[in-house]
Amino acid sequence: MSFPIHRFRRLRRTAPLRALVRETTTHPGDLVLPLFVDENADHPIPVASMPGVHRHTLASAVETAREAADLGIPGVLLFGIPGEKDEVASGAWADTGIVQQAVRALKRALPDLLVITDVCLCEYSNHGHCGLLGHDPHGAVRVENDPTLELLARTAVSHARAGADIVAPSDMMDGRVGAIRTALDAANHCDTVILSYAAKYASAFYAPFRNAADSAPQIGDRRSYQMDPANAMEALREIEADIAEGADLVMVKPGMAYLDILWRVKERFGLPTAAYHVSGEYAMLKAAAANGWIDERAVLIETLTAFRRAGADFIITYAATDAARWMRSP
């Protein structure tokens, strides 16, 4: 088939023409803002490796969420930093835990805000792992899968009881979605949505987050339960299993280095899918912008558009408020 000369360039000539034929759009309603809430903080504490991000008090978390909602951002994802940590991460499921307090405060102040809670043990355990520790037959320390499931389920139920709309297990234990769905239904929280970190890779891009949340492993690493970055088909098997266990939404994490995975997941399953623009990706963008090497606004919008083009229905990003502000202005 032959095309008339200049057909493509004619449609790129002006901004209104480009907007008219644009295939992918990104709006504030496509974004979710992560928030760190620190039980020990008496004022917002800047995170040095993530410019613009803070560890919040309950009051400042509510005000930051209010600002996001006013910009058209529909939801927040909560991470808690407890006052104390222990071997069994008891702060994760305590009804008086910092995330549970934050959920209640947010729902009182902003009842229409979607409140999503991260369900994991790493931020609450004194060893920094996402599950309970035990030993293999040779005496080596390992993360115990099945005993961890009960605690993850208790955590999800406590979040739902506090008012969370969506619980998001990020631990990567086998069977966690099924255990959480069963526990939620038994506790009469049948309407609570599960967003599974279904394809969560053992990535080097998480380092700034671990500093912000004080959640780096004290022993070993997480490669025995998070996914090998070299694997793609495994991600599809992980997601298929989570959907079968009752996941309502699925996530690919990290985002930028895994756009191929995001595309495959959306094409294969068609389930509402999130991309997580993770801390390292955010920090690199901020550092390059601070040095004058890139146009922060242009690169951020291009990055978020890439997630949407690859199949993301929504994007979790620390840059949500900046992006929403820029999207709303010419």
Kindly list the catalytic residues. Answer: 200, 253
- Asked whether 152 and 121 are in contact (CB, 8 A), the reply is yes
d(CA 301, CA 33): 15
Q: What sign has the CA pseudo-torsion 198, 255, 329, 21?
A: negative
Please list, in sequence order, all residues whose beta carbon lies within 8 angstroms of the beta carbon of residue 248, skipping any fewer than 6 positions away. 193, 194, 195, 271, 272
Q: What are phi and psi of 125, to 5 degrees?
A: -95, 150
- Residues linked to residue 314 through DSSP beta bridges, in sequence order: 274
CA distances from 184 to 112, 116, 161, 166 (A): 22, 15, 9, 11
Query: What does DSSP assign to residue 258?
Result: G
Query: What does DSSP assign to residue 57?
Result: P
Identify the residue whose tokens are 């490669």. Answer: 223
In 263-310, beta strands by DSSP E: 273-277
Question: SS3 of 213, please?
Answer: helix
- Buried/exposed code over 75-102 (b: 16+ C-beta within 10 A; e: otherwise): bbbbbbbbeebeebbbbbbbeebbbbbb
- Asked whether 168 and 118 are in contact (CB, 8 A), the reply is yes
Q: Which one, of 183, 263, 206, 211, lies nearest residue 55 by Cα? A: 211
Stretch (H or E) spanning 155: helix 145-162
